[in-house]
Amino acid sequence: MTITSVETLIFFVFGFGVFGGVRGPQREVWTLGGITLTMLLLFFGGTGILEQLPLRIGAGLLSMVGNQSGSNSLAAHPLQAPWTIVMLVLGTASLILLSYVVGQKFGKSPPAKRDFGNVASGFVMGAINGTFICVFLFSQGGFQAGLNIQFPDGGLTRDSIVPLIISGIIITLIALGLSSRKAKTSP
């Protein structure tokens, strides 16, 4: 099954919009600022900043300890194709996660009684965040045609997915049990 880029964009816009509506506009505005700065860095600064980040950090550390030849040697051999994409995804995901942490830390929590404007403005800001992230993903080479999803066959389902589902159900039940127990013991 192939999910087109338009369907993926709708999923990102709606998903991040709902998340933004729940978080509220006071938190989502901080996140929007962080994601906007991340996208500006990647679009205007180039993706090479994050793709070669470990080599640049390693070369800088070697230079600081006085091993200039090691630093030059490390800088002369850049990362190759599969690792550059891994570093780009990890670096971008880290900056986006940092934006959400900053929004959670510095943004005011939503009021207990929220009106439509509060939820709608959070939804719009979250939808813009989702649009930025989706546009960045589709500007990269591997995502332009859409996402291909392979459903597992019978053997794979029995051997690996069913135990994961059972584990997830057990962990969820334990978490629900602990949270209800904590709620009952609180004064």
Going from the first residue of the chain to its last (187 residues), give the mean pLDDT of each consecutive group of 10, the final group possibly shorter.
74 91 89 88 78 79 82 76 78 90 87 82 90 79 55 54 69 70 54
Phi first, then psi: what are they for 139, rounded to 5°?
-80, -15
Q: Within this chain, do residues 68 and 40 fall inside the same structural domain, yes or no?
A: yes
Q: Model pTM?
A: 0.66
User: In angstroms, rounded to a whole number, what is the distance separating the alpha carbons of residues 115 and 119?
Assistant: 7
How high is the pLDDT of residue 17? 92
- The structural domain count of the chain equals 2
Q: Within this chain, do residues 145 and 157 fall inside the same structural domain, yes or no?
A: no
Domain that holds residue 80: 2-150
User: In angstroms, rounded to a whole number, what is the distance separating the alpha carbons of residues 27 and 22?
Assistant: 10
How high is the pLDDT of residue 97? 92
How high is the pLDDT of residue 25? 87
Q: Within this chain, do residues 128 and 41 fall inside the same structural domain, yes or no?
A: yes
How high is the pLDDT of residue 7? 79
Q: Within this chain, do residues 97 and 55 fall inside the same structural domain, yes or no?
A: yes
